[in-house]
Amino acid sequence: MFRWAWLVLILGLPAQAEESAIPDPNWQVARAQFATAIRNREPVDEVVLLRSPANQLYFFTDLRHLQGRKVSHRWKYQGRLVLVKTFEVGGPRWRVYSRVAIEPGQVGEWSVTVVDESGWPLHMEFFRYVRG
């Protein structure tokens, strides 16, 4: 019986921790896209394939109902973390973007995952960098 009580206690703790990390159903990434530039807080185009000699790319997100929270863009190249940019969301609709500089040899698959401060993934996008 003693072992069983410890097992319930040990198994019960993660379940309680997971409950507190469940996102609000109103939280939303309304729009997300890669772009070669941002003007007036909006992307100028949409990129899925970037060709060299271009060497930088922006990631834009339009966040909804996340005010008061921190949200991060987690850039990865070939599955390895390259950059984390964190934003404090100041209103019910909040547009943010981050930028990465790409080295000539960094061809292949890139991704950005949008996460809240608990690490909960809210959205993910991919693009491919290829030689011109």
Question: pLDDT tens digits, residue range 21-41?
Answer: 566 778 899 999 999 999 999
What pTM value is reported for the model? 0.82
Q: Looking at residue 7, what is its pLDDT?
A: 35
* Average of per-residue pLDDT values in the chain: 87
Sheet holding 56-64, edge to edge: 28-35, 56-64, 93-101
pLDDT exceeds cutoff 60 at 17: no
Phi and psi for 3 in degrees, rounded to 5? -60, -40
Question: pLDDT tens digits, residue range 59-68?
Answer: 999 999 999 9
pLDDT exceeds cutoff 60 at 18: no
Q: Looking at residue 21, what is its pLDDT?
A: 54
Q: Looking at residue 5, what is its pLDDT?
A: 40
Please list the alpha-helical segments (H only) found in the chain: 2-21
- Decide: 38 and 44 in contact? Cβ < 8 Å: yes
For 34, 51, 67, 89, the CA distances from 128, given in Å and listed in that order, are 11, 8, 32, 29
Delineate the domains of the chain, giving CATH numbers in brackets: 28-130 (2.60.40.1930)
